[in-house]
Chains A and B, each alone.
Chain A
Amino acid sequence: MPVRLNHVAIASDQYALNGRFYESLFGMKPSSKPRPARSVVLGDGYVGMNCIPRRDGRYSGLDHFGVEVEDVEDTIARIKRFDPSLSAVKRPPIRPFAAYSAHDPDTNIFDLSAPSMDKKDVYAENNWSQKRRISHIALRTRHAERCAEFYVEVFGLKRLERPKDDNHYLTDGRMTLMIIPWRIVDYYAQDPARTGLDHIGFEVESVEQVKQDMVFLIGENPHMRGRALGYGSEGEARLKLFQKCPLGCFHLTDIEGVHIDVAEA
């Protein structure tokens, strides 16, 4: 059962600017057939990123991820077999990626798509390679072990052997879904963050080059500057928690404030 972790969505009031940030710094490409009133959809050749205009009553930030499966109906049946109380909802047909949305045992929401679907935007075109690409999505959730079992059993994702930490690393062969246990005690000296998607990571040809490109971009356009990281005792505590991810070695945020880490491939 080939599955692909190939969708991530960020909700933002500055969704258009945020889309430009990922285009500029990571070379992600927009669709050849954009729909200007809707989300900005970008791709790295494998993963599609939707920068969604934030809607009324909703949170902004890293919103959800998506999994492409061979057969959506079969996947929903597997979800129900894992836990009969889990369910899925059909999505509006206008969406470029998702046929259904569903959730794991901790109510983390993900989209489901299938290759046979009538996909739009970069999801219909995502088949190139580039030197900077999304390598992992990190989910911080309370019952990490049970959620990891869910993604392994339902999607057939493989567990990776990783260094001694209590995270779970699941791969589709290219992208890693990292599941981090959420514990309120990890938030000492800062505001506790809610559970859910934590950060995204990129593999790049050179971390030094990314740093230089960032400085150059901000010089060209001051709106390309992300959030301040590590300032003050609380900022330092947040950054230290973020830095515990072993898959990244340089840490920054996008315009929206989403945590990003990068490492060399």
Chain B
Amino acid sequence: MSARINHVAITSDLYAMNARFYEALFGMKTGKKTLSPARAISVGDGYVGMTHIPRRDGRTSGLDHFGIEVDDIEDTIARMQKFDPELQALKRPPIRPYAAFSAHDPDTNIFDLSQRNIGFQKDVYADNSETDRVQPRTLSHIALRTRNAERCAHFYAEVFGLPLLNKPSDENYYLSDGRMTLVVIPWKIEDYYGMDPARTGLDHIGFKVESVDQVKKDLEFLIGKNPHMRGRALGYGSEGEARLNLFRKCPLGCHHFTDIEGVYIDVANGEAN
């Protein structure tokens, strides 16, 4: 069983511009055969596909869900139900480029399930499964902040066979597919002193880059060329500072900013995968 954490989705009213942001700053690429221009935009780093979804009525915007590619979806759903018989999965509309099913963990965090080599995947997800392209800036981790972090970490370890990594002494759980890390952070309302409490769910994404300094320079250059490439203000005022301090506790990133939608991104120097 070799699971790949290789999908992340962001919903946004500015989904088209947000996709351009990831193309421009991180060199992510659109697929060879993209879906209809009226639909979501998917970009990839050669391993992880990122889908920018037009925000729909009644839905929240921001970092929405992630996805795991498995060898056998039916077997994975059976493992989920063995872990907890109350957990269920849902078949997705066939137009989706990645997901065959959506499911959720014990804390109701939603993730997609996909299966490789059955001709289902489209757009960048089909390209990513053909050949893993190497590029200097790649997604390195997805962080999930949830109340029952330990139980959720065991869920991902048992159902997907993701090994738990030994990390520095913090309360987080780090699960790896060999390339991407899923960081499961305990959500505690006390952590939100001095700011509005955030709901549980996906917290941020992280990139490994060839040079953090070069990313900073590139970001300045991009904003100079196109002012719409500017993310959100971070760390302003006492509440902004409190939010940033909490975000900075993730040990996998050393420079912090947001995309156009306001999604938290941290970056760190690291070798390209």
Interface residues of A (CB under 8 A from B): 13, 52, 54-63, 87-92, 101-103, 106-109, 142, 182-185, 187-196, 198-199, 226-229, 233-235, 238-239, 242, 253, 257-259
Contacts and interface: CB of A to CB of B under 8 A. Distances in A.
A191 B59 contact: yes
Interface stretch (B160-168, B176-184, B196-204, B212-220): B196-204
A161 B271 CA distance: 62
21 contacts: A13-B13, A52-B196, A55-B196, A55-B243, A56-B232, A57-B232, A57-B258, A57-B263, A61-B59, A61-B61, A87-B189, A89-B189, A91-B196, A101-B196, A107-B199, A183-B88, A187-B90, A190-B93, A193-B58, A194-B60, A227-B56
Contact of B193 (A60, A90, A253): A90
Contact of B88 (A56, A184, A258): A184
Contacts of B240: 55-56
Contacts of A54: 262
Contacts of A234: 56, 93
Interface stretch (B15-23, B28-36, B103-111, B121-129): B103-111
Interface string B26-63: 00000000000000000000000000010111111110
Contacts of A101: 189, 192, 196-197
Contacts of B107: 107
Contacts of B192: 89, 101
Interface in B58-108: 58-62, 64, 88-91, 93, 102-104, 107-108
B90 A257 contact: no
Residue among A56, A182, A194 facing the most chain B CB atoms (10 A cut-off)? A56
B9 to A, nearest CB: 9
Given A54-B262, A101-B196, A187-B90, 12 more contacts: A52-B196, A55-B240, A57-B247, A57-B262, A58-B196, A103-B189, A190-B93, A193-B58, A194-B64, A227-B56, A238-B56, A238-B58
A190 B57 CA distance: 12
B15 to A, nearest CB: 13
B255 to A, nearest CB: 15
A250 B78 CA distance: 41
Interface in B151-187: 187
A110 to B, nearest CB: 10
Contacts of B147: 107
